[in-house]
Amino acid sequence: MEEQRYHFYGNVLIPFRLEVVTGLHIGGSKEGFDIGGVDNPVIKLPFDVKVKSEFSGEEYVVPREFPYIPGSSLKGKIRSLLEWENNLVREDGSPTADPDSAVGKVFGIADSDREKRKKAGPVRLRVFDSYISKDSIENDFYTELKYENSINRITSEANPRPFERVPAGTVFEGRFLLKLFAREDVDFLNLIETGMKLLEDDYLGGGGSRGSGRVRFSDIRIVFRDKKFYKGECKEKIFTDFRNAIEEIKKTIG
């Protein structure tokens, strides 16, 4: 069997805004919290981070202790939803190791089998950390406390526990990056779009069965940068529709 050869055709950037619809909880370290404080804090930046808006191009600083969405959390959730949608969930619950599946090729194979990783080829998708938007930074508060009760069935005694969340209405800015190593890789944009839609109907982070974690994507753009772009030989192409982007990118790379 002839070995698969890969070539770099370009990158597809997918910047987006992600709005919190119901309070979002992605757990962080309890370090730095006082005794009697929050039992379940959200993950926060350990230091100030200078970022550039994916949309306005404006640079601003996200202060230390502000919440963010780790790329690993977003990627892992979308992958999980796509594995269910494509009947790829394994009996032990671990990520799929099917090197022939689109999910395996896009998100990578974590299996210890080197041959499976080799067959799947290079991981196509990168999911970067999403930072809070400048407008959301200017709000009066950036986290909230939600108290959840555990009730003793015999005594009816309640045991309230504070649960930290990013409040509804908060907006984050993020980016996906799809690397094209084969002409047919363009079709993986369909998989990414499906994953984003599945996430909107599900939840991100913890507490989803109790109402937390609903999110909504907006201002999605698909930006194609042919490999010639990086040599200054052509301009990027920007789309707002996945179907149109797929058709036009295929025409460009042949």
pLDDT (0 to 100) of residue 212: 96
End-to-end CA distance of the chain: 25
pLDDT (0 to 100) of residue 35: 43
For 72-97, how does the pLDDT look when each residue is reduced to its tens digit (9 = 90+)? 999 999 999 999 999 999 888 888 99
pLDDT (0 to 100) of residue 34: 46
pLDDT (0 to 100) of residue 1: 45
pLDDT (0 to 100) of residue 159: 80
pLDDT (0 to 100) of residue 162: 85
pLDDT (0 to 100) of residue 40: 87
pLDDT (0 to 100) of residue 156: 74
Residue of 129, 230, 133 lying closest to 175 (CA atoms)? 129
- The stretches in the chain having pLDDT less than 70 are 1-3, 29-38, 111
Helix, strand, coil share (%) of the chain residues, nearest 5? 30, 30, 45
SS3 for 51-110, per residue? EECCCCCCEEEECCCCEEECHHHHHHHHHHHHHHHCCCCCCCCCCCCCCCCHHHHHHCCC
For 42-57, how does the pLDDT look when each residue is reduced to its tens digit (9 = 90+)? 999 999 999 999 999 9
Please report, for the chain, the start and end positions of each structural domain, with discontinuous segments joined by +.
10-253
Amino acid identity of residue 240, one-letter, is T
Q: What does 137-178 look like in DSSP terms, one character per residue? A: HTSS-S-EEEEEEEE-TTT--EEEEEEEEBPTT-EEEEEEEE
* Number of Cα atoms under 13 Å in the Cβ half of residue 111: 19
> CA–CA separation, 163 vs 207, rounded Å?
9
pTM score over 0.85: yes
